[in-house]
């Protein structure tokens, strides 16, 4: 196997460093660069386990001597940043001292018959990442984000997803009208109306629609729904967090297959 090239960088004005800083700190920079920044060994391992080979591996200078044992062949190109530079770029309170730059594949085409999760303007990055994890765990391989949802490949969503991204087909920036291409039944969550989840006959495959944290699912998608579903809450809370609701609903679908 050919040894990768290793380039040390100490200048914050270096062009590579500037691009990396944008990827780490700007939630939508990946759309322009066509790459994502995976910081920390957990995300890096998750990518490799799904056969995603990074274009570049980046290490903090103090970590590089140790990293060579396990990570020297991880990418065809290796960048070693001074510890100060890595800390400046990092989006974590405690910098992980390593990360990958991964080239994004072209967006997947929407599959009309696939088990799907639709994010209808879900805006919190933590919620989106958590929903992606639930989708992957319970057998939903397609996630479609309506315009207004959090950027799916942003650093915060990537961290919250903890590697689920690499098991999913992700489609973002979709208009409500484009969802008419889905041929599976739409299941829409509601806090106040519809069939009780624990009593409903859930179709498979289907498309669960998870709505905006404050406004819920848009009326246009409610009107198109095959089932309106609510979750029993005997404790009396008005509604559940959208990520919690998604985990419950997707698990119910997965268990009913």
Give one DSSP letter per residue of 213-226, joined into a string: TTTBS-HHHHHH-S
Dist CA 131 CA 134 (whole Å) = 5
- Structure confidence at residue 235 (pLDDT): 83
Dist CA 159 CA 73 (whole Å) = 24
Mean pLDDT of 69-97: 92
Dist CA 164 CA 47 (whole Å) = 9
The tens digit of pLDDT for each residue in 18-74 reads 999 999 999 999 999 999 999 999 999 999 999 999 999 999 999 999 999 899 899
Q: What CATH number is attached to the domain comprising 31? A: 3.30.1330.30
- Structure confidence at residue 4 (pLDDT): 84
Dist CA 210 CA 200 (whole Å) = 17
Mean pLDDT of 162-173: 97
Task: Pick the last residue of a domain from 68, 103, 138.
Answer: 103
**Of 43-57, 148-162, 221-235, where does mean pLDDT reach its minimum?**
221-235
62 and 131 inside one domain: no
Rg of the chain, C-alpha, whole Å: 20
129 and 84 inside one domain: no
Mean pLDDT of 123-128: 97
Dist CA 173 CA 171 (whole Å) = 7
Q: What CATH number is attached to the domain comprising 169? A: 3.40.1280.10
**Is position 99 within any domain?**
yes
Evaluate if residue 1 carries a pLDDT over 60.
no
- Structure confidence at residue 193 (pLDDT): 77
Mean pLDDT of 102-110: 93
Dist CA 65 CA 1 (whole Å) = 20
Mean pLDDT of 161-183: 97
33 and 140 inside one domain: no
Structural domain boundaries, residue 10: 5-103
User: Could you tell me the pLDDT band of residue 92, with boundaries at 50, 70 and 90?
Assistant: confident
**Is position 108 within any domain?**
no
Mean pLDDT of the chain: 94
Mean pLDDT of 137-161: 97
């Amino acid at each position: 196997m050919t040894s990768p090239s290793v380039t040390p960088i100490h200048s914050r004005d270096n062009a590579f460093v500037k691009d990396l800083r944008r990827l780490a700190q700007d939630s939508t920079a990946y759309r322009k660069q066509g790459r994502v920044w995976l910081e920390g060994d957990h995300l890096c391992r998750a990518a490799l386990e799904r056969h995603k080979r990074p274009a570049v591996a980046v290490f903090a200078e103090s970590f590089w001597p140790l990293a060579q044992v396990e990570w020297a062949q991880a990418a065809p190109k290796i960048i070693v940043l001074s510890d100060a530079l890595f800390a400046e770029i990092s989006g974590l309170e405690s910098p992980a001292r390593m990360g990958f730059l991964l080239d994004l594949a072209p967006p997947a085409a929407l599959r009309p018959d696939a088990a799907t999760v639709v994010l209808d303007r879900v805006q919190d990055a933590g919620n989106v990442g958590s929903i992606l994890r639930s989708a992957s765990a319970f057998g939903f391989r397609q996630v479609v984000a309506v315009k207004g949802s959090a950027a799916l490949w942003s650093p915060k969503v990537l961290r919250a997803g903890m590697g689920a991204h690499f098991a999913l087909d992700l489609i973002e920036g979709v208009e409500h009208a484009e969802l008419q291409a889905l041929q599976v039944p739409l299941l829409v969550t509601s806090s106040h109306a519809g069939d009780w989840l624990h009593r409903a006959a859930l179709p498979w495959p289907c498309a669960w629609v998870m709505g905006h944290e404050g406004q819920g699912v848009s009326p246009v998608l409610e009107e198109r729904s095959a089932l309106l579903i609510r979750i029993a809450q005997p404790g009396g809370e008005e509604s559940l967090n959208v990520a919690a609701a998604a985990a419950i609903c997707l698990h119910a679908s997965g268990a009913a297959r």
